[in-house]
Amino acid sequence: MSWDDVEDEWTAEITSAHPTRSGAHDEYQTALKMVGNRHSKGELVNLVTWLLIRLHNSCRSGSGVSCRFCKRTDGVHPEMCLGRPG
């Protein structure tokens, strides 16, 4: 079993979100805290699920908050958007 990360359809966008590329230093600090507080893979999966649900609900609600992934505010997401419901 390899412990290396596996590249997937989100790898390039995740890599580009690093603060040295995106300037998102505050978000990175928050992410470090959120991930650091969870020690099991199951809790990390729960964290990502919660973030995706929260993102989807904010886009769907018509709150005017743009989707972080596709920038849409109307709740209509392109096929590959992480904010798109399953």
Task: Note the pLDDT tens digit of each residue in 10-32.
Answer: 899 889 989 999 888 988 999 99
> 28 and 70 in one domain?
no
Supply the pLDDT for residue 10. 86
Residue 76 within any structural domain of the chain: yes
Q: How many domains does the chain have?
A: 2
> 55 and 30 in one domain?
no
> 56 and 24 in one domain?
no
> 18 and 49 in one domain?
no
* Domain containing residue 31: 10-39
Length of the chain: 86
> 84 and 56 in one domain?
yes
Q: What are phi and psi of 76, to 5 degrees?
A: -100, 115
Residue 64 contacts residue 73 (beta carbons within 8 Å): yes
Residue 3 within any structural domain of the chain: no
| Predicted structure pTM score | 0.62
Task: Note the pLDDT tens digit of each residue in 53-82.
Answer: 877 666 555 555 566 666 666 666 656 565
Distance CA(18)–CA(21), nearest Å, equals: 6
